[in-house]
Structure 1
Amino acid sequence: MSNLFGGLTTDGLEETQDRLGGFRIHDSGPYTGTIKAAYAGAAASSKAQSITVILATDDAGEYRETFWITNKNGENFFTKDGKKQPLPGFTHVDDMCLVTTNKPLAAQATEEKVMNIYDPDQKKEVPKGVQMLVELLGKKVTFGILKELKNKQAKNSAGVYEDTADSREENVTDKIFHYPSNLTVVEARKQIQTPTFYGAWVEKNKGQTRDRRSIKDGVGGQAGRSGKPGMPPKANDSAAKTTSLFGA
């Protein structure tokens, strides 16, 4: 086995926090399932790395998402106010590793496996060798998934993609929860035994659609979010890391 992501640690990064706000479109809500695949990928023209996860949910079919864990420079963070903040995709994958194996992404072993991967040149899926995070396979986890409304994009006269007035729906992961406790990594780091964020997240997001369009009904504007009025309490306190978050 090899360790493909040994350099992608959380050392020096700001602690993540629990925030209420990553082909079948799922309604927003929590989805528990078994990890069927989790394999590495990379952008063709940069150093950006990704992890594609296939989750066989218990009652809603298959869910697939590609998480970008580094930027084009191969970094797993961005800088804000002078502090290194982890990329959302990296946080989701790192949390998924922690809640399923009690080890971060940087400690995950990989093996080459053959998967059917979409080839843009052949315009179909073809067998391809990929680096699989084998310790995650068969593990149960709960994804907090959002349904989002976004503008479709098309190339302008300069060949650059831009938003159009047409809309599309897509899913993104917003939070990862431990199964079966429903604890978040942030709560586990605080050694909390009874989850509170899960219930607040479900109350705020289940069945809602987040509107991320910059053009609405043909008119440009600021992207917003639909949902219930009011904000449930946030679990935003940072906490010191612990050696073992979720036990054996």
Structure 2
Amino acid sequence: MSNLFGNLNNDGLEESQDRLGGFRVLESGPYLVTIMAAYAGQAPSGARSVTLLTKADEGGAEYRETTFVTNKKGENFYVKDGKKFALPGFTTIDDICHMTTGKGLAGQSAEDKVMNIYDPDQKKEVPKSVPMLVELLGKKVTLGILKKLVNKQVKNATTNEYEDTADSREENSIDKVFHYPSNLTMVEARNKIQEPKFFAQWVELNKGKTQDRRSIKDGQGGQNGRSGRPGAPPKAGDSAAKTTSLFG
């Protein structure tokens, strides 16, 4: 086994807080899933990722998402006002690791496994060997998944960057992670809260709703959508000392 993300940890980072903000698009809501695959990848830019393949316990819907846990420099944080904050993608995957195995992404071991991965050159899925985070396999976790309306993008031949167009499409993304079976968030667990509160607030605000994240709406420029923030979540500054496993 190898440890691919051993250099990525929470040391020196500001603690995260609970914030709301081939496959069919799922309706927004909480989904209890079983992790079928979780493998590491890297973009041509150098940014590192983890791809999750899950299956919902109710209905059996499969969900796949590739989440970037670092930037192009290989850093799992960004700096704002002189403080280091974890990248949202890193927080998502790190939370899943903690909730299912009792240790973060940096502590996960990997084994080479063969998966069908989409090849852009061949324009189809082909068998490839990938580093699989084996300790996550078969574990259950509840994902707060959002359904979003976004602009389709095209590549600018001059700048080589992808830009929004007036056309729209629907997509999903993981917005929040909840421990199974307690429904606690990492922030609540760090604060030693016994009864989950944020889960019900998140569900009330988001279930069945589509968030409009388009920058161009009906051919006109608009504001990017943002997740809401219900109630007053536990403050990260009030957290207790970190332990190996916060969920017993």
Normalising by the residue count of structure 1, what TM-score does the alignment of the two structures yield? 0.94
What does the per-residue CA deviation read over 1:56-108, in whole Å, with 9 as the maximum and x for residues that have no partner?
A: 11124101100100000000001111111101110000000001011111111
Cα distance in 2 between the residues matched to 1:102 and 1:108: 10
Alpha carbons 2:188, 2:234 under 8 Å: kept: no
Cα distance in 2 between the residues matched to 1:134 and 1:217: 45
Report the counterpart of residue 64 of structure 2 in structure 1.
64
Superposition RMSD on alpha carbons, in Å?
1.4
Report the counterpart of residue 46 of structure 2 in structure 1.
47
- The 5 Å alignment of 1:1-248 reads 1-21=1-21, 23-44=23-44, 46-60=45-59, 61-156=61-156, 158=158, 159-224=160-225, 232-238=230-236, 239-243=239-243, 244-247=245-248
Counterpart of 1:78 in 2: which secondary structure?
Answer: strand
What are structure 1's unaligned runs of at least 5 residues?
none
- In the superposition, relative to structure 1, how do residues 127 and 223 fare at CA in structure 2: closer, same or farther (>3 Å)? same
Alpha carbons 1:6, 1:107 under 8 Å: kept: yes
Q: CA deviation at 1:156?
A: 3.7
Cα distance in 2 between the residues matched to 1:130 and 1:114: 6
Q: CA deviation at 1:236?
A: 4.0
Counterpart of 1:24 in 2: which secondary structure?
Answer: coil
Q: CA deviation at 1:154?
A: 1.6
Counterpart of 1:36 in 2: which secondary structure?
Answer: strand
Q: CA deviation at 1:157?
A: 5.2
Q: CA deviation at 1:226?
A: 8.9
Cα distance in 1 between the residues matched to 2:13 and 2:26: 32
Alpha carbons 1:20, 1:234 under 8 Å: kept: no
Cα distance in 2 between the residues matched to 1:219 and 1:84: 35
Alpha carbons 1:12, 1:84 under 8 Å: kept: yes
Letter in 2 for 1:48: A
Alpha carbons 2:40, 2:51 under 8 Å: kept: yes
Q: CA deviation at 1:42?
A: 0.2
Cα distance in 1 between the residues matched to 2:247 and 2:183: 11
Alpha carbons 1:39, 1:53 under 8 Å: kept: yes
Normalising by the residue count of structure 2, what TM-score does the alignment of the two structures yield? 0.94
Moved over 4 A (4+): none
What does the per-residue CA deviation read over 1:151-185, in whole Å, with 9 as the maximum and x for residues that have no partner?
A: 11123452542111110110010000000110001
Query: Aligned residue pairs: how many?
Result: 242
Alpha carbons 2:109, 2:133 under 8 Å: kept: yes
- In the superposition, relative to structure 1, how do residues 122 and 241 fare at CA in structure 2: closer, same or farther (>3 Å)? farther
Cα distance in 1 between the residues matched to 2:155 and 2:130: 31
